[in-house]
Amino acid sequence: MRCIACDYELLHCVGRICPECGTDFTLREFIFEEQKVLFHCPHCDHGIVGAKPNGLPPEQIEECESCGLAVGLDMYIVRPISGVSAESAELQLPIHQEEG
């Protein structure tokens, strides 16, 4: 999952602004493959898997099932699943969707 402006690796980023160049991004811009990443609660680090068709967590989830605090697509921290490194799975990790 890389910034479309500067190619910075966005996995593990807190917030939705590239720390390298300041470009805004949203998780809806990416397609996530099954069993490659988890979406972590920013409060307690509890991870959940995404759902088909684009691999994102269900949008109806508004609170973390572990700590009960607010979560959502703009808050999750995306990390590779244990045993999957960003470098070794770079080509399989989220692919940027072109508009149109």
3-state class (DSSP) for residue 75: coil
11-69 residue pLDDT tens = 889 889 999 999 999 999 888 888 888 999 999 999 999 988 888 998 889 999 999 99
Per-residue pLDDT, averaged over 70-95, amounts to 71
Res 89: pLDDT: 40
Res 93: pLDDT: 43
Q: Model-level pTM?
A: 0.80
Q: How far apart are CA 55 and CA 58, in angstroms?
A: 9
Per-residue pLDDT, averaged over 78-89, amounts to 69
Res 84: pLDDT: 61
Res 8: pLDDT: 92
Res 35: pLDDT: 82
Q: How far apart are CA 61 and CA 49, in angstroms?
A: 12
Chain centroid offset of residue 8 CA: 14
